A and B are shown apart, each in its own frame.
Chain A
Amino acid sequence: MTRSLTLRAAIVSVAIFVLFITAWHLATRGTGDVAQMDPEYAKLMGVTATQGKSAMPGPLDVGRKLWEHLNQPFYDKGPNDKGVGIQLAYSLARVLTGYFIAVLVAIPVGFLIGMSPLMSRALDPFIQILKPISPLAWMPLALYTIKDSSLSAIFVIFICSVWPMLINTAFGVSAVRKEWLNVARTLEVGPIRRAFTVILPAAAPTILTGMRISIGIAWLVIVAAEMLVGGTGIGYFVWNEWNNLSIVNVINAILLIGLVGMVLDQILAYCAKLVTFPE
């Protein structure tokens, strides 16, 4: 039954994909009116004006360009012409740096909040106010204080990924079952050993859920952050190609952003599965 369900779902997925590609292909195939013009002027106007071809690329154009990118992902021909692999690597490096700094801050602080009702209440107003701030709103302040655009982007990633982890860790730690804590108490387990042998494993699934939400948000935010700070990264690539009016490259970048985001999410999902325990 499950196997046939998987199979049927796959068939429907493929059908939707084919339908979408076909519609896209048909929609961008048509040619519009061609105006008579001076050949020199026509060169400036491009194919849209001279041949009536749509500026929106079709799936075949995108596929061809994607193949090019995948064949040569790491070329570097100067600041405005780098392979898409290099751009993605820059973005990933920023995301992972900001994200791991956030992990180092959020999990210990989350433990503190989860274990101490006093700190929980004391820090709550700050968290409530800071949490809803759009990470990009921090950007000017970061640029002014850090004075380095790349570090500012990392800071923005840090600030956006810290909250879900912090809140989930605090919740996971405070919700550890009393009976498990009592087991540790009757065995005279010290506070540090208790934190690592009872609270951490018990809260790990909740913490990992927070980490999974955070990596998703971080990957969303990096594109916008790099459009602002410029220089390198997949976000900068998208904006640069928009300035080049290369819709083919923009669509390719969108596709790759989606793929990388999915991979990051799947890695965290796998990690979450490792620490989840059945009850």
Chain B
Amino acid sequence: MPDNFISIEGITKRYPAPTGADTTIFENLWLGMERGEFVCVIGHSGCGKTTVLNVLAGLDLPSEGAVIVDGQAIEGPSLDRAVIFQGHSLLPWRTVMGNVAYAVTSKWRKWRSAQVQAHAQKFIDLVGLTGSEHKRPSELSGGMKQRVGIARALSIEPKIMLMDEPFSALDALTRGTLQDEVRRICQETGQTVFMITHDVDEAIYLADRIVLMTNGPGAVLAEIVESPLPKARARTDFHKHPLYYAVRNHIIDFLVERSRTFTKMTPDFDPRHVPVVRPGLAEPQVVAGNDAPSSSSLPGRRDSGETRQSIAKV
């Protein structure tokens, strides 16, 4: 059993529909994440990716299930978990420094302003915005705004970074640069990252594991793709890795076809043991069941060993 730093345990989200019956957005999701791991979630719009992230952030509550972080169930937002929102969501009446300093003073309330400024400056420098401290968000380009968002998230020195399609609104060139920087910063600081994306290449480049979600409503966590790329990878040649296309094709096949048909084709799917796939030169193979988180808060959901074996045999 891996030591799960983050453990998503059977979360389900339902919304009451006007007709009376509830609409299930996603159902019974189980996922464990290790400390320092970079996980990307890919799925079509409407599969509830953002809701999963909001649950992790503590902004939304699941209808069922729980999320345990570092041995503690999530009960609300926390300064341990920083969120980088899809829109940059900077406070437009504050400068770059003001936005980052706001986060810093929220974490360390008793710090003097000089200390806050120095700390904020460190992270503004880290994302390469030195010299723009006194600009307002409206004076910045889209990429620069997102950098401020990253600096703000990092400045509170969180245990986990949650990113909701952070680069989707940027042009390809800026996106590439920011991906490099996020990767560098996360590796330097040993961040645990949970990121939502639409971009397959982005997921392959950044992630250690890529989580595939089926289409909503009633979305499930279908598969976990382990990246065959080494930890040390470079933007210039990661797409030349011999297994790059195997991974990419596997994910695209999933998005094009299997995300739609998965639930129908896999009636005996066990959400607690999501198949882990490591695409190879031959056809991708399921290598193991993703062991469900050990620190289960829901004893009623403990499973028998049989299912695990049967998945591992596939």
Contact = CB atoms under 8 A, between A and B. Distances in A.
Q: Is chain B found bound to chain A in the same assembly?
A: yes
Contacts of A201: 91, 93
B89 A185 contact: no
Contacts of A277: 92-93, 136, 138
B92 A186 contact: no
Contact of A183 (B58, B76, B91): B91
Given A186-B81, A188-B79, A180 B89 contact: yes
Interface string B225-256: 00000000000000000000000000000000
Given A188-B106, A189-B106, A277-B136, A183 B89 contact: yes
Interface residues of B, number: 24
Contacts, number: 55
B116 interface: no
Given A187-B106, A187-B107, A278 B92 contact: yes
A277 B106 CA distance: 22
B204 interface: no
Q: How large is the interface on A (under 10, 10 to 19, 20 to 34, 35 or more residues)?
A: 10 to 19
Contacts of B156: 187
13 contacts: A179-B85, A182-B85, A185-B76, A186-B59, A186-B77, A186-B79, A186-B83, A187-B102, A188-B78, A198-B91, A202-B91, A277-B138, A279-B137
Interface in A173-203: 177, 179-180, 182-183, 185-189, 197-198, 201-202
Contact of B77 (A180, A188, A198, A202): A188
B79 A187 contact: yes
Interface centre among A179, A182, A187, A279 (most CB of B within 10 A): A187
Contacts of A180: 89, 91
B92 A182 contact: no
A197 B85 contact: no
B82 A186 contact: yes
Interface in B106-140: 106-107, 136-138
B224 interface: no
B89 A182 contact: yes
Nearest to A198: B91
Given A182-B83, A186-B83, A188-B79, A278 B89 contact: no
A198 B82 CA distance: 18
A236 B107 CA distance: 59
Given A179-B87, A277-B136, A278-B138, A185 B93 contact: no
Contacts of A278: 92, 136, 138
B289 to A, nearest CB: 33
Given A180-B91, A201-B93, A279-B92, A185 B59 contact: yes
Contacts of B107: 187
A185 B89 CA distance: 13
B33 interface: no
A102 B83 CA distance: 40
B138 A185 contact: no
Given A187-B103, A198-B91, A182 B136 contact: no
Contacts of B57: 186
Contacts of B78: 186, 188
A191 B107 CA distance: 15
B158 to A, nearest CB: 9
A180 B83 CA distance: 12
B293 to A, nearest CB: 24
Given A188-B78, A202-B93, 6 more contacts: A179-B87, A182-B85, A183-B91, A186-B83, A277-B136, A278-B136
Contacts of B85: 179, 182-183
A185 B91 contact: no
Contacts of A177: 89
Interface in B154-180: 156
Nearest to A189: B106
Contacts of B103: 187
A277 B94 CA distance: 9
Interface string A239-279: 00000000000000000000000000000000000010111
A179 B57 CA distance: 13
A275 B58 CA distance: 32
Interface centre among B58, B91, B156 (most CB of A within 10 A): B91
A183 B93 CA distance: 14
Contacts of B92: 277-279
Contacts of A275: 93
Nearest to B80: A188
A180 B152 CA distance: 13
Contacts of B83: 182, 186
B59 A197 contact: no
A197 B137 CA distance: 17
Query: What 7 pairs across the A-B complex have the smallest Cβ distances?
Result: A187-B106, A179-B89, A277-B93, A278-B138, A277-B92, A186-B77, A185-B77
A234 to B, nearest CB: 38
A114 B103 CA distance: 25
Interface in A30-84: none
A52 B91 CA distance: 70
A206 to B, nearest CB: 13
Nearest to A278: B138
